Chain A
Amino acid sequence: AQKITQTQPGMFVQEKEAVTLDCTYDTSDPSYGLFWYKQPSSGEMIFLIYQGSYDQQNATEGRYSLNFQKARKSANLVISASQLGDSAMYFCAMRVPNTNAGKSTFGDGTTLTVKP
């Protein structure tokens, strides 16, 4: 079975500073994908970044980067230069191919508040 753990229910960060949102995962399958999504108050799920289990380098997408530590089974999201619009709920998720029909396992989420 797959499991995602996000231990920070809420986080605060000052505008323009960097913030790290924690995510640890558990799976026995060697092939998996890790995703981060942003969910603003409107409810839509916005894809941020993807990291594959066989990727050698950490993924980056603009101000988002994923600190992937495979041995520790962690996939922390780093947001640089925080903006007020980054205030939202953030979910870490994992997909394992050929199991569970490709469905994702989600963590409980972290609510990020960016202070002006």
Chain B
Amino acid sequence: GAVVSQHPSWVICKSGTSVKIECRSLDFQATTMFWYRQFPKQSLMLMATSNEGSKATYEQGVEKDKFLINHASLTLSTLTVTSAHPEDSSFYICSAPKGFAPDYEQYFGPGTRLTVT
């Protein structure tokens, strides 16, 4: 099956610094990628939809200036958490569908665990 990678798998940073998370589709081109945030024992919360060559679409309540998304190519999307604070500590997961029909599987990255101290 298709593979989506994420880097780094975990990161610890100090409050006030910025962190960049990369999401790559390894064997298919992804015009769209999704970024999710997940707190322990909770569901995935969609943060934004990343579109290649255009601006990301953010879900209601997600700060665009804090969570910068760039989809520079058909295989790479990045999420930058700017001026991170302890409340930004979470598990971040990206995913990419191979298509938009309902039977196209959505491939998930392995996730990035962010801890802000």
Contacts and interface: CB of A to CB of B under 8 A. Distances in A.
Instruction: Answer yes or no: are A and B bound together in one complex.
Output: yes
Interface in A1-44: 31-33, 35, 37, 42-44
Given A32-B102, A43-B111, A101 B32 contact: yes
Contacts, number: 69
Contacts of A47: 1, 105
Given A43-B113, A89-B41, A111-B41, A50 B103 contact: yes
B102 A95 contact: yes
A57 interface: no
22 contacts: A31-B102, A32-B102, A33-B102, A37-B108, A43-B38, A43-B93, A45-B95, A45-B108, A45-B111, A50-B103, A52-B102, A101-B32, A102-B100, A102-B104, A103-B46, A104-B34, A106-B43, A106-B44, A107-B43, A108-B43, A109-B42, A111-B41
